[in-house]
Amino acid sequence: MGRDSRNINGFDKPTDLPKDHAQHQQWQEQNRDWWEKHPMRYDWNDPVGFEEFSTEFFQEIDRRFFSVVREYMPWKKIPFDPLIDFGSLNQRDVLEIGVGNGSHAQLLAQHAKSYTGIDITSYAVKSTSERMKHFGLDKAKIIRMDAENMEFPDDSFDYIWTWGVIDHSANTQRIVEEMARVLRPSGRAVTMVPASGAIWFLPLLMRDGFKCMEPKPNYFPFPEASSSLPLCERCQIPFADS
Ligand SMILES: C[S@@+](CC[C@H](N)C(=O)[O-])C[C@H]1O[C@@H](n2cnc3c(N)ncnc32)[C@H](O)[C@@H]1O
């Protein structure tokens, strides 16, 4: 099956919510099934080329992902350092939603006081768990869980990171509510979602924008279009009201 919107059934607009429980179940099962079969390996044009779950396999996925990130968010020392205050993460309990193959997990877990990563697929949990073993980060907790129904008590985390995930879920709004519930009052949540809804166009999706949950929902459509936009006071990402 190609990455073609015509294969994605059940809704007219990406912002639609399921009309009842049965439809919710159906959409979420389609979402989970898609990611079990098409895990996020950045291999649309070119197979990763190393044995699955080997050190080289993870390094190659990272090379592909971070080279794209670097184009639009150059870093000083560590990928995402314009966005993440790595120096303060050692005082923070970090949750990542939708770990995929664990590029972000490795980065965050190296710096966090504690790191918990969840994903709705068995594949992502296996892959990210294997990655953490390879890189000596066994203390990290990698759990299969639907972010729409998190099994964590209220106020469990200081920092939530989620990259290209919540827009795929059957009810994105439900994840945002869950994030607000498990985040401590002084906490911070940073989430990247595509701004255009072009869900089949993955290279663009990566470049397409960020949404910052604080102080209000903001996004910037493209980096090259954002230079004249004001910066969000909290996360310093350019934003446009929408
Ligand atoms: C586009 S991939 C992004 C993976 C990773 N964040 C990255 O940037 O490489 C989306 C991931 O979100 C996961 N996902 C989708 N819906 C989810 C949900 N409701 N709860 C937890 N994980 C979910 C998928 O299984 C998949 O691994």
pLDDT in tens, 47-81: 999 999 999 999 999 999 998 888 777 889 999 88
Cβ-contact 185, 158 below 8 angstroms: no
Which residue's CA is the closest to the ligand 1 atom numbered 27? 100
d(CA 51, CA 92): 34
Closest approach atom of ligand 1 to CA 103:
9
Question: Tell me: the pLDDT tens digits for 141-166?
Answer: 999 999 999 999 999 999 999 988 98
Q: Where are the alpha helices (DSSP H) in the chain?
A: 21-37, 55-72, 103-109, 122-134, 172-182, 202-207
Place of tokens 């490795």: 106
Q: What is the pLDDT of residue 195?
A: 53
Closest C-alpha to ligand 1, atom 13: 98
CA-121 nearest atom, ligand 1: 25
**DSSP structural state of residue 6:** G
Task: Tell me how far CA of residue 190 lies from CA of 20, 94, 138, 160, 211, in angstroms.
Answer: 29, 11, 24, 6, 8
Taking the CA of residue 28 as reference, the ligand 1 atom at the shortest distance is 19
In a domain, 227, yes or no: no
Predicted pLDDT at 235? 45
Q: What is the CATH number of the domain that holds 86?
A: 3.40.50.150
Choosing from 30, 35, 44 the residue with most ligand 1 atoms within 8 A of its CB, the one to mutate for a pocket test is 35
- Quote the pLDDT of residue 88: 93
Higher-pLDDT residue of 203, 100: 100
Question: Residue 38 and residue 173: Cα distance in Å, rounded?
Answer: 24
Task: Please tell me the distance between residue 71's alpha carbon and the centre of ligand 1 in angstroms.
Answer: 22
The span from the CA of 163 to the CA of 184, in Å, is 20
CA distance 49 to 60: 8
DSSP for 97-156 reads: E--TTSHHHHHHHTT-SEEEEEESSHHHHHHHHHHHHHTT-TTSEEEE--GGG--SPTT-
Does 30 fall in a domain? yes
Percentage of residues in the chain with pLDDT exceeding 70?
74
235 lies in some domain = no
pLDDT above 90 covers a percentage of the chain that reads 48
Confidence category of residue 226, pLDDT binned at 50, 70, 90 = very low
**Structural domain for 215, as ranges:** 5-219
Residues with CB under 6 Å of ligand 1 are 31, 35, 40, 97-98, 100, 103-104, 118-121, 124, 146-148, 163-165, 168-169
pLDDT tens sequence across 104-127? 999 999 999 999 999 999 999 999
Ligand 1 mean position, distance from CA 159 (Å): 18
Q: Give domain status of residue 232, yes or no.
A: no
Q: Whose CA is nearest to atom 4 of ligand 1?
A: 100
Is 226 inside a domain boundary? no
Q: What is the pLDDT of residues 7-51, one digit of tens each?
A: 445 666 666 788 899 989 998 998 999 999 999 998 888 999 999
Name the token pair of 142: 């990698």
Distance, in Å, from the CA atom of 60 to the CA atom of 221, rounded to the nearest integer, reads: 28
Report which residue type is found at 191.
T
Q: What is the mean pLDDT of residues 188-193?
A: 79
Q: What is the pLDDT of residue 233?
A: 54
Contact yes or no for 160/187 (Cβ under 8 A): yes
**Structural domain tally of the chain?**
1
236 inside domain: no
Distance 228 CA to ligand 1 centre (A): 32
